[in-house]
Amino acid sequence: MLSAGLAGCTTAAPPDNDAAEKAPSFEAEAAALAESLGIESPPDVKQVRTISLAEWGPTMIQCLNGSGWNATATDDGQGIVYPTVTEPGRTESLNIAIYTCEVQYPVERKYVTPLSDAQLEKLYVYRSTDLINCLEAEGYDIEADAPSMSVFVESEGAWSPYEGITLSPDAVAEINEACPQIPENIWN
């Protein structure tokens, strides 16, 4: 899960006045999802409620399991492993189930709004200090140097000290819990 309340990151980033305009609408997101899944005639699905990013994996798994599909959690506990199906008819049915669950439970718009420069700067400070310190305290060697803040912001936050470390299936959930890749409060 994505954890909140990390040292040194306790204040919310200033609101971005343009942020709401940058977030995709629920309708646009549903249409893009249907296209990605190859669904030509998406079913009419009503939204049940919006969810946080941390709820996404468990909520989707519960929803899919409720419609008869055996979805499980990834090793890090934050994603989904869909059942493997190869028959075209079954694949289409699974994709419609995925579409239905995601439209019923979309993530709140703040999580899909492009990060503002202030949020990116906040993320940079977290990743280049607290996150590196956390990973090193957990026994990981961080070899790659952080880019400059301007390069980080220009790349929209693509750098992470996680990129250079070796993980194992047994350790990935624990380290993501101990040293979250994103501090929850950047979304506030």
Partner 1 sequence: MNKAKKSILGVGVAVSLAAGALFAAPSAAMAASEFGSDTPITCPTNRPAGYVESIAKGRVNHRAGVTTLGSWNNGSAYVRRTSWVGSRNIPGWRTWITGTGGDISNGYAGCSS
Q: Does 81 bind partner 1 (CB under 8 A)?
A: yes
Query: Which lies closer to partner 1 via its Cβ, residue 125 or residue 172?
Result: 172
Residue 80 is classified by DSSP as E
Q: If binding is defined by CB under 8 A, does position 130 make contact with partner 1? A: no
Give SS3 for 72.
Answer: strand
Q: Which of 16, 111, 117, 174 binds partner 1 (CB under 8 A)?
A: 111
| Residue of 75, 92, 130, 174 interacting with partner 1 (CB under 8 A) | 75
| Backbone φ, ψ for residue 142 (5° rounding) | -105, 110
> What Cα–Cα distance (Å) separates residue 150 from each residue in 9, 91, 121, 159?
19, 44, 9, 12
Distance CA 185, CA 113 (A): 14
Residue with tokens 């694949």: 91
Which residue, 10 or 26, has its beta carbon nearer to partner 1? 26
Min separation Cβ 96 and partner 1, Å: 14
Could you tell me where the beta strands, DSSP code E, fall in 61-175? 72-73, 80-81
Question: Is residue 80 part of the contact set for partner 1 (CB under 8 A)?
Answer: yes
* Chain residues that interact with partner 1, rule: CB under 8 A: 24, 28-29, 32-33, 36-37, 53, 56-57, 74-76, 78-82, 84, 86, 107, 111-115, 123, 151, 154-160, 162-163, 166-169, 172, 181-182, 186-187
